[in-house]
Amino acid sequence: MNKIPQKLQLHKTYFEIKSKLGIQVSTTLGYWNMITNIKHPTIKGREREVKQTLYEPDEIRVSKKDKTVL
């Protein structure tokens, strides 16, 4: 039984993975819900594939607009 109130669960780390570039990427359950319900509903239920893509992407691009982004 999970006794943590749902409101607090939304702020807990949902998953964390080190990217191919060595950057630690994490998301909370609340933010993951926003991503999968509003921004990118096609990735809902595909956490495993998202983690795999962050860990081993097919392609890495340098930002043309922001020089501080790899």
Structure confidence at residue 48 (pLDDT): 95
Nearest by Cα to 14 from 36, 30, 34: 30
Can you tell me the distance from the alpha carbon of 10 to that of 16, in angstroms, rounded to the nearest whole number?
Answer: 15
Q: DSSP 3-state assignment of 24?
A: strand
Please provide the distance, in angstroms rounded to a whole number, between the alpha carbons at the two ends of the chain.
42
Structure confidence at residue 70 (pLDDT): 63
**Domain boundaries along the sequence of the chain:** 11-55
User: Above 60 in pLDDT, residue 1?
Assistant: no
User: Above 90 in pLDDT, residue 5?
Assistant: no
Q: What is the DSSP letter of 70?
A: -
Kindly report the pTM of this predicted structure: 0.73
Structure confidence at residue 6 (pLDDT): 65
